[in-house]
Amino acid sequence: MTKIDHAEKRRKDKVIIHQSAIGEGSVSKIVNKIIENDVPLQDALRRDYGNFSAIARMIKPKVEEMAQREVKLQSIITAVKRAKGFHSRFFENVKGVISKSTINVRTDVVKLSIEKTRKNLITMRNLLAEYQEEFLQVSESISAITLVFDQKLFQEIRSLFKKEDVLEERTNLAAIIVRSPEDIAETPGCIATFYSQLSRRQINIDDTTSCFTDTIIIVKMEDVGAAFSALTDLISEARK
């Protein structure tokens, strides 16, 4: 083999190695993206009940679809192992916040959604001033105002708004108030973890909002026991 042939071979080997490195990096990014969008998969990795090979086989078609090429199973397994390390560190931060959280429950609350008009905004602000000592949670969107408050005040507050302005009213609800440390504002994934815990128990969240360090979750009265138990289990596990 001539010097020119040797040089050409070395050049081709470098190209193959470079392409392989790019391919591995691309697979890792794709696997991370898939795991980031799959909360149950994150949970399986975090709790160590997810088999790397089984997970890799499960997501292989999706990886190949996103990569637009065939990908070796071993490359995906390696990427899943790396992703576990990243998500484990991520969940350690979440765990730290959740472990310092506490739960309060407010039963017999109602939810009233009304059309957002100037008059209703004024009424709502007057309500906040008048009922400072009562449980009254208000949230606004572009077109609506939602009030969550004690059921004993329902008739009194409901009468302040026109019938045609009422978009929805729900009674027999409960408010679960999760109070967390201030770190929750800088730690992504905490609130999603609360919601995911309820979702796994098939508990529907009727309404939710956050206020400073409080995460307020509204559920049906019939679900409040199971919801409280689910969130208490989550916090207890985080404290271990």
SS3 labels along the chain: CCHHHHHHHHHHHHHHHHHHHHHHHHHHHHHHHHHHCCHHHHHHHHCCCCCHHHHHHHHHHHHHHHHCCCCCHHHHHHHHHHHHHHHHHHHHHHHHHHHCCEEEEEEEEEEEEEECCHHHHHHHHHHHHHCCCCCEEEEECCCEEEEEEEHHHHHHHHCCCCHHHEEEEEEEEEEEEEECCHHHHHCCCHHHHHHHHHHHCCCCCCEEEEECCEEEEEEEHHHHHHHHHHHHHHHHHHCC
Average pLDDT score, the chain: 86
Could you tell me which CATH number the domain at 100-238 has?
Answer: 3.30.2130.10
pLDDT tens-place string over residues 72-94: 999 999 999 888 877 666 677 88
pLDDT tens-place string over residues 152-199: 999 999 999 999 999 999 999 999 999 999 999 998 888 988 998 898
- Res 25: pLDDT: 58
pLDDT tens-place string over residues 198-228: 988 899 999 999 888 999 999 999 999 999 9
For the cut 80, the answer to whether the pLDDT of residue 15 exceeds it is no
For the cut 50, the answer to whether the pLDDT of residue 12 exceeds it is no
- How would residue 13 be classed by pLDDT, with cut points 50, 70 and 90? very low
Average pLDDT of 54-58?
92
For the cut 60, the answer to whether the pLDDT of residue 230 exceeds it is yes
User: How would you write 34-98 as a 3-class SS string?
Assistant: HHHCCHHHHHHHHCCCCCHHHHHHHHHHHHHHHHCCCCCHHHHHHHHHHHHHHHHHHHHHHHHHH
Locate the domains of the chain by residue range: 3-93, 100-238
- Res 90: pLDDT: 65
With beta carbons less than 8 A apart as the criterion, state whether 158 and 112 touch. Answer: yes
